[in-house]
């Protein structure tokens, strides 16, 4: 029986009594000639072509030839919007899904099934896979404010996210150290506050065109981009660009350290509300996603009433654009509109306010620091990363249950899981990837796979087969001693 090492683990995999499907010159991707289907077919053909090291054509008619990879939308398929069914036989592959996103997931599953032997024959075992995700929000948050990462770097990360069926890239675009998104109504934000980064390292920013490019690239791979503008704290980059946001009227100095909690907006300054309204309107103009993240974390020097007022102002500015609000867990201490998403990261506070917020209609996105913060060191000898939330080895990022993170929280209020990586110590793509891999695959399985199907020993065996791909692509990863890794 062939080894089926899929990550994340699907709902069901049935090995069929048939010969494998061989990827060769006869392989053709077939879809109906609809623009959205053609786009995903081109993605499939490109992916299969690179795996098999040969061109794969896209066609619009199934004439029953050998080697067809048929992609089809079936809105009656059970399992929710992202459900798919993949059937691999010797002569053809049939992939059906309820949506384009489901087709992308199925293509990725087919990609993971393909292996190349010593005779350079690339094939996939005959199987039937029925699959759908546990949670609709399966994310990765990347801090590009403390250290900047180029669009090409993020494209590599998006490819990894798609490979593990993560579907939300949350970009932490602003902080004390830098402002990373062009805001036409406030040009000084990038003119004066984009060049800085932690330790005086080079900065940078995304132009409106850059951001649009990133959004389109991600969308083609089933990944949404959610922008975060962190207010009312973590705002030194804004205060450095616009002195009218400070009580003295003078801009602050550039900041390149890593301390938190010292910067803040002021509700009583006349410039504050127009600033929030204009910034979030400009963000919405380049971000088509239904959500905008307002931050809201670690405002350590502000009266609770003023904090609540500023969260309300920022939330109103987001809703005025037709978007919904996401914020870090501190916003749960303020009145929230039903449907607001609270991103939980620190399990130390009293759970009562979060339970109350859920009962009032808030939804929760789980990113517990001790499990999902992938900038934490693997162990005390890890050179990169921080350790305020402890050390997170691979099993730590796998062995947890989202519905029990907050005691008393109704399980139905949990809408997703999101890993996060902060970049105080991460300066380039290899360093970033070494902290993401292999733990990103673990968090992805927590987000995708039903709790009763998850098993550490089973995952440990399956994730071992991922390293040859990482090695072939030149992706840095941590060779966790908890896994017997395979090699290219």
Q: Annotated catalytic sites, by residue?
A: 298
- Any residues with CB less than 8 A from the CB of 428 and at least 6 apart, and which? 153
* Angle of CA points 397, 148, 185, to nearest 5°: 120
Bridge partners (DSSP) listed for residue 416: 137, 365
Q: How many residues in the chain?
A: 488
- Range 299-337 burial, b when 16+ CB lie within 10 A, else e: beebeeebbbbbbbbbbebbeebebbbbbbbbbbbbebe
Contact status, residue 311 vs residue 265, Cβ threshold 8 Å: no
**CA 212 → CA 37, 130, 318, distances in Å?**
21, 34, 19
Rounded CA-CA distance 141/447 in Å is: 14
Q: Which helix (H) or strand (E) holds 209?
A: helix 208-219
Rounded CA-CA distance 154/142 in Å is: 9
CA dihedral 307→311→312→318, nearest 10 degrees, is 160
Of 156, 311, 143, 158, which Cα lies nearest the Cα of 227? 143
**CA 338 → CA 265, 334, 355, 374, 422, distances in Å?**
25, 12, 14, 30, 29
Of 398, 388, 302, 310, which Cα lies nearest the Cα of 345? 388
Rounded CA-CA distance 38/58 in Å is: 8
Q: Residue 74: helix, strand or coil by DSSP? A: coil
Rounded CA-CA distance 377/310 in Å is: 34
Rounded CA-CA distance 37/100 in Å is: 7
Strand order in the sheet with 122-124: 21-23, 122-124, 115-116
């Amino acid at each position: 029986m062939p080894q089926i090492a899929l990550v994340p683990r699907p709902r069901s995999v049935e090995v069929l009594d048939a010969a494998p499907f061989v990827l060769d010159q006869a392989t053709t991707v077939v879809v109906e000639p609809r623009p959205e289907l053609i786009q995903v077919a081109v993605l499939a053909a490109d992916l299969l072509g690179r795996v098999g090291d040969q061109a794969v054509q896209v066609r619009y008619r199934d004439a029953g030839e050998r080697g067809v990879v048929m992609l089809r939308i079936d809105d009656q398929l059970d399992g929710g919007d992202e459900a798919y069914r993949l059937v691999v036989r010797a002569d053809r592959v049939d992939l059906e899904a309820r949506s384009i996103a489901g087709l992308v997931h199925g293509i990725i599953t087919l990609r993971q099934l393909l292996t190349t032997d010593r005779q350079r024959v690339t094939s996939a075992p005959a199987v039937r896979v029925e699959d759908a995700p546990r949670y609709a929000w399966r994310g990765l948050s990347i801090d590009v404010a403390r250290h900047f990462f180029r669009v090409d770097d993020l494209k590599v990360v998006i490819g990894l996210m798609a490979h593990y069926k993560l579907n939300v890239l949350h970009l932490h675009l602003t902080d004390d150290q830098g402002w990373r998104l062009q805001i036409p109504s406030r040009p000084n934000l990038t003119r004066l506050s984009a060049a800085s980064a932690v330790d005086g390292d080079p900065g940078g920013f995304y132009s409106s065109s850059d951001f649009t490019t990133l959004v389109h690239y991600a969308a083609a791979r089933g990944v949404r981009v959610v922008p975060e503008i962190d207010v009312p704290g973590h705002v030194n980059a804004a205060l450095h660009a616009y002195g009218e946001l400070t009580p003295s009227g003078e801009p602050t100095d550039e900041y390149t350290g890593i301390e938190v909690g010292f910067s803040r907006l002021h509700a009583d300054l006349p410039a504050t509300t127009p600033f929030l309204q204009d910034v979030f309107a400009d963000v919405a103009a380049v971000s088509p996603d239904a959500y905008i993240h307002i931050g809201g974390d670690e405002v350590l020097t502000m009266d609770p009433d003023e904090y609540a007022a500023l969260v309300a102002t920022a939330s109103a500015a987001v809703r005025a654009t037709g978007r919904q609000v996401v914020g870090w867990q501190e916003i749960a201490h303020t009145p929230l509109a039903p449907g607001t998403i609270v991103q939980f990261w620190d399990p130390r506070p009293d759970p009562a306010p979060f339970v109350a917020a859920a009962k009032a209609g808030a939804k929760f996105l789980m990113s517990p620091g001790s499990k999902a913060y992938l900038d934490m060191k693997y162990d005390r000898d890890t050179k990169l990363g921080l350790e305020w939330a402890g050390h997170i080895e691979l099993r730590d990022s796998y062995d947890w249950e989202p519905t029990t993170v907050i005691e008393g929280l109704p399980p139905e209020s949990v809408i997703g899981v999101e890993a996060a990586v902060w970049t105080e110590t991460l300066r380039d793509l290899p360093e970033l990837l070494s902290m993401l891999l292999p733990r990103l695959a673990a968090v992805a399985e927590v987000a995708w796979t039903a709790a009763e199907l998850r098993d550490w020993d089973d995952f440990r065996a399956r994730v071992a087969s991922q390293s040859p791909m990482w090695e072939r692509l030149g992706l840095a990863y941590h060779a966790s001693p908890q896994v017997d890794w395979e090699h290219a």
